[in-house]
Structure 1
Amino acid sequence: MAVLAVARRTRLGPRGTIARKWVPRVLGGVAAAMVPWAVVLQQTLPATTVVRHWQAVWIGLDLMIALGCAVTAVLDGRGDPRAVLSASAVAALAVMDAWFDVLTAQAGGDLALALVCAVPELSLAGFCAAIALRGSREAALSVRLAG
């Protein structure tokens, strides 16, 4: 609740003029710029590559998800509205994990295993997205009631 109170008092808050004008412009511009960038990547990246630190990449990603789950559990258990933030991050990381697992798997048994593993990863993503949406609705309601 304290976070929301501070946000309401600043010009960057949910009703602030700076956020209302610039956030959509900046993010819209980034979204528009990403489309041609994706085309450039599609045309220039090699079809295959050798990856250094492969184990560190996957272990690090899974540990980030574990840390995010732990943080979300603690924050949500305390009723802290910041659980929305960590739950959103975990949802994004879990979707990314499933995406890269499936797309980097070799055909056959590896791909089948990646698809099986994607089920709990995407379930976690959905669960965390639900936590984030619940929290954002509660925050919006408390802002309306306070203002």
Structure 2
Amino acid sequence: MTPAERRDLILRLAPREPAGLPSLRTIERIRKWRTVLMLLCALALIPWTVYLGMTLPSHYVARNWVATWVGFDILLLTMLVLTALAGWKRKQLVFPTAFATGVLLICDAWFDTMTSHRGADLTQALLSAFLVELPLAFILIAGPLRLLRYVAIRHGMISPKSHLWRMPIPDLYPGQKMPPDHP
């Protein structure tokens, strides 16, 4: 059976109104407002970043330094364990946990490098970043994204020639039109 035939069969066998899904109008409204929210946050972050760049001191003694780093590492440890468990049990939870863990590793590498002193401390931070944290972050982010693509191909949702950055979100209500207020 070709991917197109498999997708057609899935669509014919799927219930018309899957239980637990919001209406098409609700999905579109949520998508629109989340997009607006992200754009507003991005716009607000531009002047805030410029302000911080101009006003923050180049040297600052931080309170709760140990609690901050230990807490961050506990969060990172928790996410690594959740990702390992989700992967081991073959659960879809591996997608968000692996992605979030990869982002946390990138943040860890950045802050370790930026806050280390020149000399051996900086060398250790750079070696840790380039030999451990960043490669592991790449594996944790790229791996589940590739797996997501394979799942979509396997279920006939996309062509095997499709690239991840062009992969659309599957239509939850095939054959139905967008609400009238949709641009």
Q: Same fold (TM over 0.5)?
A: yes
User: What does residue 141 of structure 2 align with?
Assistant: 129
Are residues 6 and 80 of structure 1, via their aligned partners in 2, closer, same or farther at CA, if it must alter by over 3 Å?
farther
Whole-angstrom CA distance in 1 between matches of 2:36 and 2:151: 24
Whole-angstrom CA distance in 2 between matches of 1:92 and 1:6: 33
TM norm structure 1: 0.82
Q: Which amino acid aligns with 1:99?
A: W
- The CA deviation at 1:82 is 1.4
**Where do residues 132-147 of structure 1 align in structure 2 (5 Å cutoff)?**
132-138=144-150, 140=152, 142=155, 144=157
**Where do residues 17-28 of structure 1 align in structure 2 (5 Å cutoff)?**
17-28=28-39
Q: Percent identity?
A: 33
Are residues 96 and 131 of structure 1, via their aligned partners in 2, closer, same or farther at CA, if it must alter by over 3 Å?
same
Structure 1 segments, 4+ long, off by >4 Å, are 138-143
Q: Which amino acid aligns with 2:138?
A: G
Whole-angstrom CA distance in 1 between matches of 2:69 and 2:156: 40
Contact 1:11–1:18 (CA under 8 A) maintained in structure 2:
no
User: What does residue 51 of structure 1 align with?
Assistant: 62
* Structure 2 residues without counterparts, runs of 5 or longer: 1-17, 158-169, 175-183
Greater percentage in helix: 1
Q: Are 1:66 and 2:77 counterparts? A: yes
Q: 2:102 aligns with which of 91, 96, 106?
A: 91
Are residues 111 and 57 of structure 1, via their aligned partners in 2, closer, same or farther at CA, if it must alter by over 3 Å?
same
- The CA deviation at 1:135 is 4.3
- The CA deviation at 1:80 is 1.1
**Where do residues 79-118 of structure 1 align in structure 2 (5 Å cutoff)?**
79-118=90-129
* Structure 1 residues without counterparts, runs of 5 or longer: none
Q: Which amino acid aligns with 1:85?
A: P
- The CA deviation at 1:29 is 1.4
Larger radius of gyration: 2
Count of residue pairs brought into register by the alignment = 141
Are residues 136 and 53 of structure 1, via their aligned partners in 2, closer, same or farther at CA, if it must alter by over 3 Å?
same
Q: Provide the secondary structure at the position in 2 that maps to 1:116.
A: helix
Q: Could you report, residue by residue, the CA deviation over 1:64-110 in whole angstroms, capped at 9, with x for unpaired residues? A: 11111110111122221111111111011100000000001111111
- The CA deviation at 1:11 is 4.2
- The CA deviation at 1:131 is 3.0
